[in-house]
Chain A
C-alpha cells in the first residue's frame, strides 16, 4: 500500500515535470514587452499581423478613452472600485506611464459620455493583460 502511494507520488512529480513549460528568455521577455508596449510581445515573436491588430485595438481604445475625457486612476488605497480602476489602467503599461508623465486624464468632466472614457481606459488595460497572457502562451509553445 505504502509502496503504491510512493510510486504514485513519483509518477505525479514526473508528469508535473513533463508538463511544466520550459523557462526560456522569450517566456520572460515577451510578456514584459507586451505589457509595456501593447502588441509588441507578438511582434518580437514574428506574429506581425496579430501584433499590429492588438496594438491598434488597445492603443486606439486607450486614446479614445482619453479623448472622451476619461479619468486615469492613480495608485490609491481607498475605495475598492478606485483600486480596481487603477489595476485596470496600469494594465496598459507604457501608455499608463505616458499619461501619468504628461498628466493626462485629469480634466474636469463636462459631458455625459465621459464615464465611457473611463471605462475605455480600464478595459484597454484589461485587454492588454489578455494580450500579455497570449504572448506568454506563444513563447512557451502552447499556442502557434
Chain B
C-alpha cells in the first residue's frame, strides 16, 4: 500500500496525532486536556500557514 499525501495534509495529520498525545499527557483533567489539545492543533496548523507564507515570500 502506498499513500501519497500532499505536504499540507501530511502536516495537518501530523498535528492531529501530536496534539492528541500532548493534550492527554501534558494536562491532568479532561477539560484542560481538550483545551490544550485544541491549542496545540491550532499552533501546528497556524505554524504551517506561517511557514507557507514565509516560504512563499522568500521565493519571490
Task: Tell me, in angstroms, the Cα distance from A126 to B3 when the chains sit together.
Answer: 22
Interface of B is mostly: helix
Interface of A is mostly: helix
Q: Which residues of A contact B (CB under 8 A)?
A: 50, 53-54, 56-58, 60-61, 64, 67-69, 111, 113, 116-117, 119-120, 123-124, 127, 130-131, 133-134, 143-144
Return B3 CB to nearest CB of chain A, in Å: 4
Option from B1, B4, B14 in Cβ contact (under 8 Å) with A123: B14
Tell whether, in the assembled complex, residue A144 and residue B18 are in contact, meaning their CB atoms are under 8 Å apart. Answer: no
Option from A116, A117, A120, A130 in Cβ contact (under 8 Å) with B25: A130
Tell whether, in the assembled complex, residue B5 and residue A113 are in contact, meaning their CB atoms are under 8 Å apart. Answer: yes
* Number of A-B pairs, beta carbon distance below 8 Å: 61
- What interface size band does chain B fall in? 20 to 34
Q: Tell me which of B7, B16, B20, B28 has the highest count of chain A C-beta atoms within 10 A of its own C-beta.
A: B20
Chain A residues closer than 8 Å to B3, beta-carbon distance = 64, 67-68, 117
Tell whether, in the assembled complex, residue B14 and residue A111 are in contact, meaning their CB atoms are under 8 Å apart. Answer: no
Tell whether, in the assembled complex, residue B29 and residue A144 are in contact, meaning their CB atoms are under 8 Å apart. Answer: yes
